[in-house]
A and B are shown apart, each in its own frame.
Chain A
Amino acid sequence: MTTEDQTISSSGGYVQSSSTTDHVDHHHHEHDSLNPPLVKKKRNLPGNPDPEAEVIALSPKTLMATNRFLCEICGKGFQRDQNLQLHRRGHNLPWKLKQRTSKEVRKRVYVCPEKSCVHHHPTRALGDLTGIKKHFCRKHGEKKWKCEKCAKRYAVQSDWKAHSKTCGTREYRCDCGTIFSRRDSFITHRAFCDALAEETARLNAASHLKSLAATAGSNLNYHYLMGTLIPSPSSQPPPSFPFGPPQPQHHHQHFPIPTTTFDHHHHHQDVMKPASSLSLWMGGNINHHQQVTIEDRIAPQPHSPNEDYNWAFGNANNRGELITTSDSLITHDNNINIVQSKENTNAATSLSVPSLFSSVDQITQDANAASANMSATALLQKAAQMGSTSSTSPTTTITTDQSGYLQSFASKISDQSNQIVEDGGSDKFFALFGSNSVELMSNNNNGLHEIENPRNGVRVVSGIDELHNYPWKRRRVEIGNAGGGGGQTRDFLGVGVQTMCHSSSINGWI
């Protein structure tokens, strides 16, 4: 592991303009605003902001201001938090210190400055600054970015970029309906997809030579001569249409009589002997094809034995393979493959990123050196100490008995000579560790007595993965503007962290 443990030099100061930071300056609202910030609106429609969140209204000017994110080390400004994080990497911070400082304020949500907009109202505020910026731009901004290939125009540059990357380029669709933006993911999937298996099983089961002319709609671009395989390079791309009948590429003269290099397996589940391979019946079964004419129909085959690209955008690949559009034995009229992807696979193909770096803001302790060589007792003491200095906490109903308990716990393991920092704020320790639901022993009796703490209402929301459902790069789904930051609406302040240890039984513990 090659982390360098560099201590950040503390020489010199780092100047930071508090009027433009979002992170460090906790209490400064950007207020060239039309409305004063409103707080504590009731939750209304689904997907709405946390009622506890603080609503912020920025003017269009401020909203569009650049360089709101500043590096605390060198002061350089960035338009986006992710860019700032990328930049911070260059300062060679050890990974443990790379976590960002935790935000102290409540979560913020933003309203759209445009009065007529639905998101202008605090109940429909969006959870993420970038989201509201993009929304404002998209809806109310001038669409100055234009795609070269098609007529689409965009107000947000990143939308335009994302579109132009995919406009006219390939997408790969498997017969099972899953779509891939990367060829290798597609190929790997294809090799194992059941659609392939079904088709080859069917073809194998047919087990007689078919005239290939009858199934010339099929998608093979190589010729078989008796006993040998000759791949034929395709000379031209297929006609480029996404749906509808392509012209047959080649006519297949013969179907191979198996040679010694092939063993015939009619059943793909036969045990594989070392020298076994499945032969492919090119002809397929006529009776499986509903419309089989050469000229003007695709024979809808459940599976093309060849590459099964569905060219959504009508581009050809260089092998001139045919486009299969049918998912099953559907008619020609309905050649369009409906993307009914299985949830799993579809989900698997779209990456989602709520926020890239350090979606949890965390405080780090004093520099690495400090904690590096602490003894166990010192660490546990420190934990107790930190509890005493913590000044906010979600409300708990932990009695001081318990915190006293913990203090004495710390004392038990420390040397007698060590001082325990005692103070009244001992219940903070639990808030500190979010241990609201931990059962603890009361220090009242020396007996083993468990107290159950009621949970407070604050929860970790790291489970809201539905909101993560927007792809990181331009996988395939367009990034809606509403969901806003998607996962960024989650509680990355760690404010609501709570341990889930319901059954912490300290039976027998001293």
Chain B
Amino acid sequence: MTKTRILNPTRFPSPKPLRGGGDANFMEQLLLHCATAIDSNDAALTHQILWVLNNIAPPDGDSTQRLTSAFLRALLSRAVSKTPTLSSTISFLPPADELHRFSVVELAAFVDLTPWHRFGFIAANAAILTAVEGYSTVHIVDLSLTHCMQIPTLIDAMARRLNKPPPLLKLTVVSSSDDFPPFINISYEELGSKLVSFATTRNITMEFTIIPSTYSDGFSSLLQQLRIYPSSFNEALVVNCHMMLRYIPEETLTSSSSSLRTVFLKQLRSLNPRIVTLIEEDVDLTSEGLVNRLKSAFNYFWIPFDTTDTFMSEQRRWYEAEISWKIENVVAKEGAERVERTETKRRWIERMREAEFGGVRVKEEAVADVKAMLEEHAVGWGMKKEDDDESLVLTWKGHSVVFATVWVPI
């Protein structure tokens, strides 16, 4: 042993502070102070902090800087909407990237860049397949942010069940909302027709239905349609909710004791579905106070920015543009315009239980499939199985990202 040096880990050896590298704590504090300044109409302070933030967090810096830059933009947007005169004084930010409009093939590749979506796909499909055993018709209602990207593998898995004829597959979706990303460049009619061709090549008979319905009223027309829908003998109703229920207004928006979210789940329960899968991001973005909301958002959205190190530049731009869109929605918008109302796993589980659903554990085989899939991605991805609430949680560097839960009526 030659030289040794004692290091105090709380004090890193170099006295050099940030030199373009970002201290996330520091940035967070600045952002929070800026938020307070904006909401208390302190234009001067707002301006000052924004300017400093812009210096320490360039939009093309490291992931923490890009994260902070996205928040900076959002705060700027909020400030400008409150004080329009501010916009002339703060023009140092280049315009934000436009959101890409994906072809379906592009979107298919995009959703597999990280396990973010595939995690939920695998868990949900496995649960669905188990649940629909023995049914001759399967009616899937796909409420998914990913425009049916989960379906091809489900179709394929159904087709591969040997020694039994595959069921008739009915797929119902709601009309595509163009209110939040990702955006696609074809109509749902076209998309559905592709899926049907695909199903046919797998020897599955499939029907595709689009029901005009919107998140903003809790998908009430969808539920109505499903109520009057004539179901065949031995038909299983499957409702797959993949990062979509967050858009249904909840108590902070509909300020009644019974929010649209609650109503939706109750009505869903009354349809007596065979199985409901609920996959969402594990973060609370519903706080009415901006500072709390920003804090939650900052401590969550660092994750997608952190995962894009492996992406190619174009993909990363697209991806981060979408996250930035969400950040702006959470930070700068209020009322009905603020659509990103994600809630935590704990809260969703509470809701489901209140609506008389019981949690079902995902099978070991599916867990193994998820693990195998994670192996193919960057080392930071992991997964945990929570025994007390039967959920599966996708993690990034140990932090919860997405949870997957499966429910049956009880």
Q: Does A185 contact B (CB under 8 A)?
A: yes
Chain A 76-114 interface 0/1 with B at a Cβ cutoff of 8 Å (1 = within): 000000100010010010011111011010000000000
From the candidates A270, A345, A359, A368, name the one contacting B309 in the complex (CB within 8 A).
A359
CA–CA, A9 and B24, complex, Å = 20
Q: Are A500 and B156 in contact (CB under 8 A)?
A: no
Q: Are A305 and B112 closer than 8 Å at their CB atoms?
A: no
Contact B109 A189 (CB under 8 A): yes
A222 at interface (Cβ–Cβ under 8 A)?
yes
When distances are taken between beta carbons in the complex, the residues of chain A under 8 Å from B24 are 95-96, 99, 364
> Are A505 and B92 within 8 A (Cβ)?
yes
Query: Which residues of chain A come closer than 8 Å to B195, judged between CB atoms?
Result: 191
Q: How far is the CA of A56 from the CA of B181 in the complex (A)?
A: 47
Q: Given the complex, which residues of A lie within 8 Å of B355, measured CB to CB?
A: none
A364:B2 contact, CB within 8 angstroms: no
Cβ A184 vs Cβ B310 within 8 A: no
* Interchain CB contact under 8 A, A271 and B189: yes
Output the nearest chain A residue to B306 by Cβ-Cβ distance: A95
Place the interface of chain A in its size category: 35 or more
B16 close to A102 (CB less than 8 A):
yes
> Which residues of A have CB within 8 Å of B65?
497
Q: Is A16's CB within 8 Å of the partner chain B?
A: yes
Please tell me if B10 contacts chain A, counting CB pairs below 8 Å: yes
Give chain A nearest CB distance to B307 CB in angstroms.
Answer: 10
Q: Would A365 and B17 count as touching, CB distance under 8 A?
A: yes
Q: Nearest Cβ distance between residue B290 and chain A, in whole angstroms? A: 15
- Is there contact, CB below 8 Å, between A192 and B193? no
> Is B17 a contact partner of A390 (Cβ separation < 8 A)?
yes
Contacts of B63 in A (CB 8 A): 360
Contact segment of B248-256, B320-328, B370-378? B370-378
Closest CB-CB distance, A115 to chain B, in whole Å? 29
Determine if A460 and B60 form an interchain contact, defined as CB atoms under 8 angstroms apart. Answer: yes
Q: Mark A171-187, 1 if CB is under 8 A from B, else 0.
A: 00000000001101101
Q: Mark out the residues of chain B between 46 and 64 whose CB falls within 8 Å of any chain A CB in the assembled complex.
A: 47-49, 51-52, 54-56, 58-64
Shortest distance in angstroms between A119's beta carbon and chain B's nearest beta carbon? Answer: 26
Cβ of B105 under 8 Å from chain A: yes
A506 at the interface (CB under 8 A from B): yes
| Contact, CB under 8 Å: B89 / A494 | no
What residue in chain A is nearest B111 (Cβ atoms)?
A188
Docked Cα-Cα span, A505 to B25, in Å, equals: 27
Chain A residues near B10 (CB, 8 Å)? Answer: 7-8, 10, 366-367
Residues of A within 8 A of B368 (CB): none
Judge whether A211 is part of the interface by a CB distance below 8 angstroms: no
B1, B94, B398: most-surrounded residue (chain A CB, <10 A): B398
Within 8 A of B (CB), among A210-257: 222, 229-231, 233
Residues of A within 8 A of B205 (CB): 229, 261-262, 277
Contact across chains for A500 and B59 when beta carbons are under 8 A apart = yes
CB distance from B262 to the nearest CB of A (A): 24
- Report the bound CA distance from A231 to B167 in whole Å: 12
- Given A8-B9, A277-B196, does the pair A3, B299 have CB atoms closer than 8 Å? yes
A338-352: which residues lie under 8 A (CB-CB) from chain B? Answer: 344-345, 347-349, 351-352
**Is B315 among interface residues, defined by CB-CB distance under 8 A?**
yes
User: Which residues from 228 to 258 on chain B have a C-beta closer than 8 Å to any C-beta of chain A?
Assistant: none
Which partner residue on chain B sits nearest A83 by CB separation?
B379
Per-position binary interface string of chain A over residues 361-386, scored 1 when its CB falls under 8 Å from any chain B CB and 0 otherwise: 11111111001101110011011001
Are B2 and A192 touching (Cβ within 8 A)? no
B113: which A residues are within 8 A, CB to CB?
A: 348, 351
The yes or no answer to A499 lying at the interface (CB within 8 A) is yes
Partner of A505, one of B4, B13, B89: B89
List of A residues within 8 angstroms of B193 by Cβ: 268-270, 272, 278
Q: A residues within 8 A CB of B89?
A: 505-509
Q: B410 an interface residue at 8 Å Cβ cutoff?
A: no
A362 near B21: Cβ-Cβ < 8 Å: yes
User: Which residues, 24 to 43 on B, are CB-close (under 8 Å) to A?
Assistant: 24-26, 28-30, 33, 36-37
Q: Which chain A residues border B37 with CB–CB below 8 Å? A: 376
Q: Pick the contact of B7: A16, A181, A434, A492 (CB < 8 A).
A: A16
CA distance A260 to B89 in the complex (A): 68
Contact A472 B378 (CB under 8 A): yes
Residues of B within 8 A of A72 (CB): 7, 9
Check if B224 is an interface residue, CB within 8 A of chain A. no
Which residue in chain B gives the minimum CB-CB distance to A262?
B205
Contact check, B21 vs A360: say whether CB atoms are below 8 A apart.
yes
B6 neighbours in A (Cβ, 8 Å): 13-16
Mask: chain A, 451-465; 1 = CB below 8 Å from B; 0 = not? 000000000101101
Q: Does B276 contact A (CB under 8 A)?
A: no
Known: A196-B194, A362-B64. A274 touches B110 (CB 8 A): no
| A residues 184-205 touching B (CB-CB < 8 Å) | 184-185, 187-194, 196-197, 200
Q: Which of A2, A24, A368, A379 contacts B30 (CB 8 A)?
A: A379
B132 at the interface (CB under 8 A from A): no
CB contact between B112 and one of A182, A262, A355, A356 (< 8 Å): that residue: A182
* CB-defined contacts of A510 to chain B, threshold 8 Å: 44
A313 located at the interface, meaning its Cβ lies under 8 Å from any Cβ of chain B in the complex: no
A191 near B12: Cβ-Cβ < 8 Å: no
Which residue of A has the minimal Cβ distance to B313? Answer: A465
* B50, chain A: closest CB distance, angstroms: 10
- On chain B, the residues within 8 Å of A73 by CB distance are 9
**Interface-facing stretch out of B157-165, B266-274, B329-337, B357-365:** B157-165
Contacts A3-B399, A362-B22, A438-B92 given; does A356 touch B203 at CB 8 Å: no
Q: Does A279 contact B (CB under 8 A)?
A: yes
Contact of B302 among A2, A25, A95 (CB under 8 A): A95
Chain A 133-147 interface 0/1 with B at a Cβ cutoff of 8 Å (1 = within):
000000000000000
Interface core residue of B8, B21, B22, B194 (most chain A CB under 10 Å): B21
Measured between alpha carbons, how far is A219 from B343 in the docked complex, in Å?
47
**How far, in angstroms, from A363 to B58 measured CA to CA in the complex?**
17
Indicate whether A184 sits within 8 Å of B400 (C-beta atoms), given known contacts A18-B5, A200-B197: no
Bound CA span A359–B21, Å:
11
**B313 neighbours in A (Cβ, 8 Å):** 463, 465, 468
B152 at the interface (CB under 8 A from A): yes
- Say yes or no: B315 contacts A360, CB within 8 Å: no
B203 partner residues in chain A, CB cutoff 8 A: 222, 229, 231
User: Quick check: A460 and B17 within 8 Å, CB to CB?
Assistant: no
Residue from the list A233, A375, A380 in contact with B162, Cβ < 8 A? A233
Q: Flag whether A353 is at the interface (Cβ < 8 A).
A: yes
Q: What are the residues of chain B within 8 A of A507 when measuring CB–CB?
A: 88-89
Q: Mark B383-409, 1 if CB is under 8 A from A, else 0.
A: 000000000000001111000000000
Query: Does B220 lie at the interface of the complex (its beta carbon under 8 Å from any beta carbon of A)?
Result: no
| Shortest Cβ gap from A97 to chain B (Å) | 8
| A-B contact sample (8 more), CB < 8 A, given A494-B19, A501-B58 | A191-B198, A268-B194, A271-B189, A495-B19, A497-B65, A498-B20, A503-B92, A504-B51
CB<8 Å pairs between A and B, sample of 27: A14-B7, A24-B13, A95-B397, A97-B25, A102-B14, A181-B376, A190-B198, A192-B191, A200-B197, A231-B165, A269-B193, A277-B207, A305-B201, A347-B314, A348-B113, A356-B310, A357-B397, A363-B14, A380-B49, A390-B17, A390-B19, A433-B20, A473-B375, A487-B309, A497-B61, A501-B54, A503-B91
